[in-house]
Amino acid sequence: MSKALRLSEKWFQRGLWLVALVFAAFLIGLGGTVVGDLPQVERSLGVDDFMEQPLATQLRDKLKADEGAGREAQEALEQARLAHRVAQANSRTASETFSNWLATRRATERGEQDSELIERTRALDGLKAAERQALAAMQAQQQKALDASQGAARTQSGLAELERVAQDKWQSAQRAQELRVFLYRLALTLPLLAVAGWLFAKKRKSTWWPFVWGFILFALFAFFVELVPYLPSYGGYVRYIVGIVITVLVGRQAIVSLNRYLEKQKLAEQLPDAQRREELSYDTALTRLSKGVCPGCERVVDLKNPTIDFCPHCGIGLFDHCGVCSARKSAFAKFCQACGAEGRAPAAATVNLES
């Protein structure tokens, strides 16, 4: 198409395409803002919204209390262990001292030391009793820590079960909310696609085509970027089924359009040569000729071959001779490239040339 346009017209076309792209960009920005605010039409849900709040609060408070009691019991247990270790050390030291003293007494066999023996024995028994008392205190703290830990575990298990049930309910509600938001997007996108399809079919070659194509680009962006990625998956079934349906619809329309086009071409090829050339627009004919195809049937033709004046596929005239200077020229040209004469060769002139 670009070879059939004037130089200034080419730049105007490029400028108009730029207008179309800028118009589409602003529409996309506005549409993205609207679509981005769609999730705000519904309140964001959380797992806590689906839990039995009184029971959940009670379990959380009990868990907090159990954890606090567990920390206190653990701290007391550390203190009891330290006290027990001190008592053990005192008892061990006293036992070693008493054993050494007793060995010395046996060696000396001094009777005046019997009262000291009794006193040392009593002191050692007191240290042993203190050690046993420290051990009992440590074991009691171990029991308290164990009870607190088990209580916290039971409470945590109950709370986890409550959260699991709420999680299932929340996921179901989340899927329903996502579906509603998708339907909101669909309600906005489908009318845009419908309008874009109508504009493409009826107005894409009108005077205001830059705005038409800008809107079409915006509608396609809204469909493929703002809608398709948010299509609910449901394990992939929905997306695959929708993809199959869209592919079938688009493929069917493409097949129908192709058959219509081929039927139209067959009917056009049965028309007289002059009528067919008159129905072809000048720009369309030049565009097809610049691509090396027949303007009538769009099949490849060797246009550089000087012996080919008619399309070997459909018979339409491709070259004729100027009625003034007899130069060979394109049958679709408005003026002769050799002498500048206007139009095709008159019938009389053609007959004279042939004679």
Q: Determine the average pLDDT of the residues in 119-145.
A: 78
- The candidate with the shortest Cα–Cα distance to 303, out of 290, 322, 321, 287, is 290
- The Cα 265–Cα 311 span in angstroms is 14
Query: Residue 271 phi/psi, 5° resolution?
Result: -80, 160
Residue 351: the pLDDT is 34
- Tell me the two tokens of residue 240: 């695959």
Residue 316: the pLDDT is 86
Provide, rounded to the nearest whole percent, the portion of the chain with pLDDT above 90. Answer: 0
Which of the four pLDDT bands, split at 50, 70 and 90, describes residue 9? low
Which of the four pLDDT bands, split at 50, 70 and 90, describes residue 348? very low
- Tell me the two tokens of residue 306: 């000087």
Residue 50: the pLDDT is 65
Q: Which of 30-34, 185-189, 249-253 has the highest mean pLDDT?
A: 249-253
Distances (CA, A) of 7 to 46, 61, 330: 63, 81, 21
pLDDT at residue 350 tops 80: no
pLDDT at residue 41 tops 70: no
49 vs 294: which has the higher pLDDT: 294
pTM summary value: 0.48
- Per residue in 76-113, is it b (16+ CB within 10 Å) or e — as a string? bbeebbebbeebeebbeebeeebeeeeeebeeeeeeee
